[in-house]
Structure 1
Amino acid sequence: MKTLRPSGYWLIAATLAASAVSHPALADGTAYVNKGLVGVGRIPASQKDKFGETFGSGSGMAIDTRSWTRDGATYKGSLWLLPDRGYNVVGTTDYRPRLNTISIELAPTASGAAPAAGQEQSGVKPTVADTILLTDDKGVDATGLDPLNGVRAAAGDMPMLPQADNGKLALDDEAIVRLPDGTMFISDEYGPNIYRFSADGHLMSATQPPAALVPTRHGKPNFASDNPGAGAAEPDPKDPDTGRQNNPGLEGMSMTPDGKFLIAVLQSATRQDGGDSGSTRQNTRALVYDTSDLAHLKLAHEYVVPLPVFKDAKGKTKVAAQSEIVALSDNSFLMLARDSGNGQGVKGDESIYRKIDIVDLSGATDIANGPFDAADKPVAAKGVLDPSVTPAKLTTFIDINDKAELGRFGLHNGAPNDRNNLSEKWEAMSLVSVLDPKLPDDYFLFVANDNDFLTQDGFQVGAAYKAEDGADVDTTFLVYQVTLPGLSGNSLAAN
């Protein structure tokens, strides 16, 4: 099938020769195809990084497209994997934020085929190659500690920033975009801010979101997330009055393929938009920044994105918070949304909702720089969207919980809650070409989990630890082959 979009819109449909296992999806007239899972691989839960601390937690990922090569049926390259704030023993710790470089080998299984016996989870071979630490603009190590009472005052080009009680910049990193010059954007939960770091991890600039997203308590900015360290008091009140809820920050972020825009999405609705309840937090926000000046991002567009709603095992209405995005254009992106509390390493065993959707912003109302960007003007009071606002449209693309797909690779969703049951948190995605001239619109979509550093052989911040209930959760990679018409005509300027 072939569909042409209006002039100037680069996402055009292509003729697709989909196999019997392909799963096509139509979004705004464009045909996208999920050809299924083609590879699985693991990094052991006990793996240590360059600094001798427990490796883990794939909160964000960026594939180095320039390193990506193909030799026959085998691919090689590297990617960057971003951990969050470290293993939470009792609240947060003084874990130094960092970025890991991973060498990758991929030998994909043909779409719909079964891997050789005993090789089901060896199609992806990841190796930890390097680790760098992230520092503030003065070169001082940052920290994963909850910024309970600290606000670093704005200075120069830097806005006010979250600061822990030990005086360090507090980061809970969630998403990464690596730029061609080696610098990178990293988004976080605490601010929720977007930071630009040098190639060696030195803070260069920071972007604060609109006031509607900045957490406040008693009318003042307060970046605490109610995860105090050992002996520290909880914030007052525990939850913000307005702005992002505790922990749902800028969870997803991606650069458009042409390198002109950076899209960042809040994990779920702000407090004033219904984010104070798990059943009303549906209306989150997508921020689209103009990147013509990398040091001074400019908010160009802003849209309401309705998160998926589902019924849990007890029949209660729940909202699937988003965990990562991959931009397809300046008005469309892939979005991974999931439930919580189910999977290897936690009490629940079967996930109800883990899907990747296509988000179309083209018909949504642009609310950037308007009244809804103020903290006192909800766009969705108590979760009910303002009638003047049209939200984005969602189309389901990939069901990560697809039992048939998982079964081909020795994985499952649900009991028994063993190492082959998918873990709870899938939070990282990145795209890279299949490098086949016969399939110019085909890509490998890498998806990785945040394993929460759960291991029986852990070591961080100078102390050994063992996760509760004997949990040993590997960092796991799932690789899908997908057809995304139109991307091959863009530069894929950023990873």
Structure 2
Amino acid sequence: MKHLHRTASLGVALALFTALTPALADSTATVGGLVNKGLVGVGRIPAAQRDKFGETFGSGSGMAIDTASWTHDAGTYKGSLWLLPDRGYNVAGTTDYRPRLNTIGIEFTPAAPGAAGQEQTEVKATLADTMLLTDDKGADATGLDPLSDVRAAAGDMPMLPVATNGKLALDNEAIVRLPDGSMFISDEYGPNIYRFSAQGRLLSATQPPAALVPMRKGKPNFSSDNPGPGAAEPDPKDPDTGRQNNQGLEGMAMTPDGKFLIAVLQSAARQDGGDSGSTRQNTRALVYDASDLAHLKLAHEYVVPLPVFKDAKGKTKIAAQSEIVALSDTSFLMLARDSGNGQGVKGDTSLLRQIFVVDVSAATDIAGGSFDAADKPVAPKGVLDPSVTPAKLTPFIDINDNAQLNRFGLHNGAPNDHNNLSEKWEAMSLASVLDPKLPDDYFLFVANDNDFLAQDGFQVGAPYKADDGANVDTMFLVYQVTLPGLAKK
């Protein structure tokens, strides 16, 4: 990674000051020693799939591969992964969907890098189990919007968002599975980091700095302005400070050495320009000391500048981030994307879905300083405070690259059909290639959040049918990448 800083400077110039548009790429791309060897596999789980509880399966908001079960024999890999859905089908508002975690069995036979004529069957994914996530007392949690209710802090547990039905409100977005089976899960409402037991029971919770806690009229208010049936909207609709609605801790990952947990806000906090889609660039990465799993300690905090692009009308837009994979305590992969384009929504052509290398080694550490207070913006109106040096971004993988997608019968853009990539790609995880000749090679699995869009959907005791005939499969894209030295960290 020693050459990453120099390369990243060029990446920032490209990512932040020019319009990023899809471009054809070579089958391999190298960034500071990291190599993208291209797309080597695709797989689907049908939109009609039901989970263990008879409800419509979907939404890859977070993913963790069980590396202990990962094996290789005769050209095929086998193992399992955990796929984390968010708060359920909520096109017309949130519902009392019970948060859960799905276990997926995987058989993967990769295509050769660059090989054409592939059939989207390289990844065979099978739903094996579904586990409900509960609060610390073992009671059901909910996906309902926590309009104004707050469970007061008690003992080691901070204040928590609660829906009007009294249940802990969760909008889960990222997962880190620990060796003992317990897990960290980050969410959007808090935006908090929760630790659950291997059986899915809440053990502890970590609240972010005050600058990220959503406040309305001087009080914590965790609503995302997605009220449930018959419920009123929050007043005001948007927080005054803290995370913007539906822009919580979208990305989270453990460093390879297990010492630090990194969580990244989806886009800038309200007071940092997050009140506008054109100024929400300066988000934050929180780096926690994970030596005590029950009591995460904020060790470092950095400003991460999200990529800027122009939409079809020439307007400046900021691509929010959707997931990260940690490479070390100072670098991580970050998936950023636009919205409103892809199968299942009106627009057909995405302008930016890209995985970046983020380097914070030369960034200003703002942890514990004045910027952690809600009344001291680090980027007022989106303009970064001159005392702060942000992280560096370098483009690594262009998910929209039609040269790669077309090899598997996929595309980005019209026609907006079953083979057009869906709008939201929100989950990433790594598994080793298990080849002694390629000790630094990994498969990077990327999954979509299909928003549970199905024509025969069923959740919370009622059937539903997604608008405009949308029937969006859960999908996996797999890239082969070289990450030098990762296994030694």
| Cα distance, 1:3 vs structure 2 | 6.3
Q: Secondary structure at the match of 2:445?
A: strand
| Cα distance, 1:22 vs structure 2 | 1.2
Q: How does 1:445-456 map to 2 (within 5 A)?
A: 445-456=444-455
| Cα distance, 1:422 vs structure 2 | 0.2
For 2:405 and 2:437, the matched residues in 1 are separated by: 27
Look up the match of 1:132: 131
Q: Secondary structure at the match of 1:305?
A: strand
Q: How does 1:403-414 map to 2 (within 5 A)?
A: 403-414=402-413
The share of aligned pairs that are identical, in percent, is 83
Look up the match of 1:150: 149
For 2:97 and 2:414, the matched residues in 1 are separated by: 33
For 2:92 and 2:387, the matched residues in 1 are separated by: 44
Q: Secondary structure at the match of 1:130?
A: strand
For 1:293 and 1:32, the matched residues in 2 are separated by: 32
Q: Secondary structure at the match of 1:145?
A: coil
For 1:4 and 1:320, the matched residues in 2 are separated by: 26
Look up the match of 2:17: none
For 1:22 and 1:388, the matched residues in 2 are separated by: 38
Stretches of structure 2 that go unaligned for 5 or more consecutive residues are 6-24
Task: Give per-residue Cα distances to partners, 1:21-75, cap 9 Å, x unaligned.
Answer: 211112xxxx110000000000000000000000000000000000000002100
For 1:76 and 1:349, the matched residues in 2 are separated by: 34
| Cα distance, 1:90 vs structure 2 | 2.1
Cα–Cα, structure 1 residues 452 and 486, in superposed 2: closer, same or farther, change >3 Å? same
Look up the match of 1:349: 348
For 2:28 and 2:268, the matched residues in 1 are separated by: 33
Which of 54, 57, 79 is 2:56 aligned to?
Answer: 54
Look up the match of 2:44: 42
Taking structure 2 as the reference length, the TM-score comes to: 0.95
Look up the match of 1:100: 102
Taking structure 1 as the reference length, the TM-score comes to: 0.94
For 1:310 and 1:45, the matched residues in 2 are separated by: 31
| Cα distance, 1:115 vs structure 2 | 4.1
For 1:4 and 1:359, the matched residues in 2 are separated by: 13
Task: Give per-residue Cα distances to partners, 1:285-314, cap 9 Å, x unaligned.
Answer: 000000010000000000000000000000
Look up the match of 1:459: 458
Give the residue type in structure 2 aligned to 1:97. P
Task: Give per-residue Cα distances to partners, 1:80-124, cap 9 Å, x unaligned.
Answer: 0000000014210000000000000100000001245xxx10000
Q: Secondary structure at the match of 1:272?
A: helix
For 1:409 and 1:350, the matched residues in 2 are separated by: 18
Q: How does 1:286-297 map to 2 (within 5 A)?
A: 286-297=285-296
Quick check: 2:27–2:404 contact (8 Å CA) kept in 1? Answer: no
Stretches of structure 1 that go unaligned for 5 or more consecutive residues are 7-18, 491-495
Give the residue type in structure 2 aligned to 1:291. A
Q: How does 1:168-207 map to 2 (within 5 A)?
A: 168-207=167-206
Quick check: 2:303–2:390 contact (8 Å CA) kept in 1? Answer: yes
For 2:350 and 2:3, the matched residues in 1 are separated by: 38
Quick check: 1:62–1:176 contact (8 Å CA) kept in 2? Answer: yes
Look up the match of 1:493: none
Look up the match of 2:398: 399
| Cα distance, 1:5 vs structure 2 | 9.7
Which of 24, 29, 40 is 1:23 aligned to?
Answer: 29
| Cα distance, 1:489 vs structure 2 | 1.1
Which of 77, 80, 93 is 1:78 aligned to?
Answer: 80
For 2:359 and 2:324, the matched residues in 1 are separated by: 12
| Cα distance, 1:4 vs structure 2 | 8.1
For 2:31 and 2:377, the matched residues in 1 are separated by: 33
Look up the match of 2:217: 218
For 2:356 and 2:416, the matched residues in 1 are separated by: 26
Q: Secondary structure at the match of 1:329?
A: coil
Moved more, 282-291 or 481-490: 481-490
Give the residue type in structure 1 aligned to 2:316. T
Q: Please report the RMSD computed on the Cα atoms of aligned residues, expressed in angstroms.
A: 1.3
Task: Give per-residue Cα distances to partners, 1:218-274, cap 9 Å, x unaligned.
Answer: 011000000001111000000000000000000000000000000000000000000
| Cα distance, 1:20 vs structure 2 | 6.9
| Cα distance, 1:335 vs structure 2 | 0.1
Look up the match of 2:362: 363
Q: Secondary structure at the match of 2:211?
A: helix
Task: Give per-residue Cα distances to partners, 1:327-384, cap 9 Å, x unaligned.
Answer: 0000000000000000000000000000000000000000000000000000000000
For 2:222 and 2:428, the matched residues in 1 are separated by: 27
Quick check: 1:109–1:115 contact (8 Å CA) kept in 2? Answer: no
Question: How many correspondences in the alignment?
Answer: 470
Give the residue type in structure 1 aligned to 2:116. A
Task: Give per-residue Cα distances to partners, 1:446-490, cap 9 Å, x unaligned.
Answer: 000000000001000000110011100000000000000111213
Q: Secondary structure at the match of 2:487?
A: helix
Quick check: 1:148–1:235 contact (8 Å CA) kept in 2? Answer: yes
Q: Secondary structure at the match of 2:327?
A: strand
Task: Give per-residue Cα distances to partners, 1:171-220, cap 9 Å, x unaligned.
Answer: 00000000001100000000000000000100000000000000000011
Give the residue type in structure 2 aligned to 1:242. T
Quick check: 2:117–2:409 contact (8 Å CA) kept in 1? Answer: no
Quick check: 2:135–2:202 contact (8 Å CA) kept in 1? Answer: yes
* Dislocated runs of 4+, deviation >6 Å: 2-6
For 2:161 and 2:249, the matched residues in 1 are separated by: 14
Quick check: 2:444–2:479 contact (8 Å CA) kept in 1? Answer: yes
Q: Secondary structure at the match of 1:206?
A: strand
Look up the match of 1:308: 307
Q: Secondary structure at the match of 1:159?
A: coil
Quick check: 1:146–1:164 contact (8 Å CA) kept in 2? Answer: yes
Does residue 375 in structure 1 map to residue 395 in structure 2? no
Look up the match of 1:470: 469
For 1:21 and 1:249, the matched residues in 2 are separated by: 34
For 2:54 and 2:81, the matched residues in 1 are separated by: 20
For 1:4 and 1:389, the matched residues in 2 are separated by: 22
Look up the match of 2:257: 258
Quick check: 1:273–1:283 contact (8 Å CA) kept in 2? Answer: yes
For 2:262 and 2:356, the matched residues in 1 are separated by: 16
For 1:252 and 1:449, the matched residues in 2 are separated by: 14
Look up the match of 1:431: 430
Q: Secondary structure at the match of 1:262?
A: strand
For 2:47 and 2:4, the matched residues in 1 are separated by: 46
Quick check: 2:442–2:480 contact (8 Å CA) kept in 1? Answer: yes
Give the residue type in structure 2 aligned to 1:270. A
Give the residue type in structure 2 aligned to 1:476. M
Cα–Cα, structure 1 residues 5 and 286, in superposed 2: closer, same or farther, change >3 Å? closer
Quick check: 2:256–2:487 contact (8 Å CA) kept in 1? Answer: no
